[in-house]
Amino acid sequence: MKYDVENRRVWYKGEIVEVKEAKVNILAPTAQFGLNVFEGIPCYWEENEKQMYAFRLEDHYGRLLRSAKLMQMDCRYTKDNFKEALIAAIRANEYCENLSVRQTLFVDGSGSWGSEGPVEMIVAPIPRKKTSAEYNKSGLHCCFTSWRRISDDTFSPRIKCGANYINSRMGQREALRNGYDTCIFLNKDGKVAEGPGSCFFMVRNGMVHTPQLTESVLESITRDTVIKIAEDLGIPVIERAIDRTEVYTCDEAFLCGSAMEITPILSIDKYIIGGKGTNSITEKLHTAYLAMAYGKVSKYRHWVTPIYE
């Protein structure tokens, strides 16, 4: 790494600049109303190859464009533009450690909450150790938050926009206040939805269960990866509505996401869950996930993009 985080380089409006120089008008709709959509893209440093691999770029950019469309943001960038900017931002910092790259489209200018543009982009690589604490734990003590997850008929969790994270924040702050690492949301029907920045899975009788994509969850890329890994390992996956009390008595549970990877849940509302152990399904899924993300699995090699020449 060439620069510390305060002095790192970011891609901003078509140029590589020092993060301190990347300024946004205080009255821009992104600053006033949270009018932005973004991705957190995991990138893995492979020390032996001296190479950085971005994981599932194509899928992250597909979701970014869907989020922009749903927010009716006037985005002029293509997937190729997104990729070029990400590569330039990482190379500019000469990073050689695991990263989460924040790639954000935002409404700039002097409009209001109904404005479609002008849409600008920022790409900011964040060393993994500098992301939120709950993303860097080896096991999690969770609670069910008293706040319900937003839903498609009010404000869709399918859109990965900054404003959605106010709902995440309410749950996360409640969890931290009460001494937990993070929380799990129920949806408006009282069924299990997801974490504030991750998706939920549980294991019962050797089968993996997760809520459906229509039950107030983000269309998570890690969730999709986990399902594919489980299927490859011959572990049945069931996407269905999950009750709160099922979680208290499950065999294993974990949260997953680009920042969190696959992190076992140790307890929920103080009910102990047996997820952490070398023979657990959670551990097997995590090991397989890392192999893919580091470009070691030929079947999924197309999912990784090398950053350095």
| 194 in contact with ligand PLP (CB under 6 A) | yes
Q: Which is nearest to 41 in space by CA: 107, 95, 4, 1?
A: 95
Residues numbered 3-62 forming contacts with ligand PLP, rule: CB under 6 A: 40
Decide: is 211 part of the binding site for ligand PLP (CB under 6 A): no
Pick the stretch among 65-73, 137-145, 202-210, 216-224 that binds ligand PLP (CB under 6 A): 216-224
263 binding ligand PLP? (CB under 6 A) = no
Least separation in angstroms between residue 271's CB and ligand PLP is: 22
Q: Which is nearer to ligand PLP, 90 or 92 (CB)?
A: 90
Q: Is 261 in the site for ligand PLP (CB under 6 A)?
A: no
Q: Report the residue from 125, 197, 211, 295 that binds ligand PLP according to the rule CB under 6 A.
A: 197
Smallest distance from the beta carbon of 22 to ligand PLP, in angstroms?
A: 22
Asked if 168 and 131 touch (Cβ cutoff 8 Å), the reply is no
Binding residue for ligand PLP (CB under 6 A) from 103, 198, 210, 216? 198
Q: Between β-strands 51-55 and 304-306, what pairing exists: parallel, antiparallel or unpaired?
A: antiparallel
Q: Two tokens at 122? A: 């920022």
Binding of residue 257 to ligand PLP (CB under 6 A): yes
Determine if 258 is a binding residue for ligand PLP (CB under 6 A). yes
Q: Smaller CB distance to ligand PLP: residue 198 or 210?
A: 198
How many of the other CB atoms lie within 10 Å of CB of 249?
Answer: 10
Q: Is 292 in the site for ligand PLP (CB under 6 A)?
A: no
Q: What is the 3-state secondary structure (H, E, C) of the chain?
A: CCCCHHHCEEEECCEEEEHHHCCCCCCCHHHHHCCEEEEEEEEEEECCCCEEEEECHHHHHHHHHHHHHHCCCCCCCCHHHHHHHHHHHHHHHCCCCCEEEEEEEEECCCCCCCCCCCEEEEEEEEEHHHCCHHHHCCCEEEEEEEEECCCCCCCCCCCCEHHHHHHHHHHHHHHHHCCCCEEEEECCCCCECECCCCEEEEEECCEEEECCCCCCCCCCHHHHHHHHHHHHCCCCEEECCCCHHHHHCCCEEEEEECCCEEEEEEEECCEECCCCCCCCHHHHHHHHHHHHHCCCCHHHHHHEEECCC
Smallest gap from Cβ 197 to ligand PLP, in A, equals: 4
Structure tokens at 262: 């696959």
Part in contact with ligand PLP (CB under 6 A); list of ranges 68-76, 116-124, 137-145, 214-222: 214-222
> Which one, 213 or 297, has the nearer CB to ligand PLP?
213
Asked if 285 interacts with ligand PLP (CB under 6 A), we say: no
> Nearest approach, Cβ of 15 to ligand PLP (angstroms)?
27
CB of 162 to ligand PLP, least distance (A): 11
Of the two residues 38 and 45, which places its CB atom closer to ligand PLP in the complex? 38
220 binds ligand PLP (CB under 6 A): yes
Quick check: 124 and 10 in contact, CB under 8 A? yes
Please report whether residue 218 would count as binding ligand PLP according to CB under 6 A: yes
Over the window 96 to 135, marking each residue x when it contacts ligand PLP by CB under 6 A and - when it does not, the resulting string is ----------------------------------------
Given the rule CB under 6 A, which residues bind ligand PLP?
40, 168, 194, 197-199, 218, 220-223, 257-258
